[in-house]
Amino acid sequence: MGAWGEGPFDNDGSHDAIAGLRDVDQEAAEAHIRQVFRDVLEQDYVECYEAQGAIGVAVLLTHLDSPLPDPDIVRSAEGIELTVTAELRELAARGLRRLQNPADNEWFELWDEGGGGFGETMSRSLDRFLDALNGRSAETRPVN
């Protein structure tokens, strides 16, 4: 049985995507991150596993780049030596924005199956990570 949960690190897709960043140099880590986001950005329909991986990596990037990283996320980052560049932040932000489109991704559909707007709730849960990737706090985020 695979891992499945609401948190960005509570599933197999994120575990596997993050594992590809452990004990590799900067160049290999960047190549892996680019592939994780290519799997989301270049598909007509995003499968849940790939979405989970992109979410996990994006959230990890926000915390590797933070002066006050979340202690739970620090555990997920063990063995990862990575400088978070502006290019990686932009790529991760593009990936998260892509996943917020309910029309073409399984991750959203699976959360939304139970009704009650939970797919939208999960989609909005990505906003704070988008804010961090874009270098702004939730208070300064423009209203859409």
Q: Is residue 3 part of a domain?
A: no
Chunked into runs of 10 residues, the chain (144 residues) has average pLDDT values of: 63 92 94 97 95 94 76 75 92 95 87 76 87 68 34
Domain count, the chain: 1
Q: Is residue 38 part of a domain?
A: yes
What is the structure's pLDDT at 28? 96
Structural domain containing residue 107: 12-137
Residue 46: φ, ψ to 5°: -95, 125
Q: Is residue 143 part of a domain?
A: no
Q: What is the pTM of this model?
A: 0.86
Residue 126 burial (CB count, 10 A): 20
Q: Is residue 35 part of a domain?
A: yes
Crossing angle of the two packed helices 26-41 and 86-99, in degrees rounded to 10: 20
